[in-house]
C-alpha cells in the first residue's frame, strides 16, 4: 500500500526498527532476519519521511513490514 510515514524508530538493539504508517495509524515492526535488510528498509523509510514522500510498504499477515519501495 502507498502510505505516508508518520514516524520511524530504531534502537541500538539488533534489528529493532519500527515505523508508524499513516495508512493504518499503527506501529509496524520491520521483519528481522537479515541485518542489512532491516538497515536498508530503515534508510528507505527515513528517506521517505525526510522528503515528505509516500512509500509503498508490503506487510505480512502479522503486520510486519517485509518490503518497502519509493
Specify the number of domains making up the chain: 1
Q: Which residues pair with 18 in a beta bridge?
A: 9, 29
Give pLDDT, residue 27. 97
Question: In angstroms, what CA-CA distances link 7 with 3, 11, 17, 24?
Answer: 12, 14, 11, 13
Give pLDDT, residue 13. 87
Q: Is residue 54 predicted with pLDDT exceeding 80?
A: yes
pLDDT tens per residue, range 2-53:
999 999 999 988 899 999 999 899 999 999 988 789 999 999 999 999 999 9
Nearest partner of 63 among 16, 9, 26, judged by Cα: 26
Provide the residue count of the chain. Answer: 70
User: Does the pTM of the predicted model rise above 0.75?
Assistant: yes
Give pLDDT, residue 23. 86
Q: What's the domain range around 65?
A: 2-69
CB 47 within 8 A of CB 36: no
Amino acid at each position: 500500500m502507498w502510505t505516508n510515514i508518520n514516524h520511524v524508530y530504531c534502537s541500538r538493539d539488533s534489528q529493532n526498527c519500527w515505523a508508524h504508517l499513516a495508512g493504518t495509524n499503527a506501529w509496524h515492526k520491520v521483519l528481522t532476519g537479515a541485518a542489512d535488510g532491516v538497515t536498508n528498509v530503515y534508510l528507505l523509510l527515513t528517506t521517505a519521511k525526510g522528503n515528505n514522500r509516500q512509500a509503498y510498504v508490503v506487510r505480512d499477515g502479522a503486520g510486519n513490514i517485509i518490503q518497502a519501495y519509493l
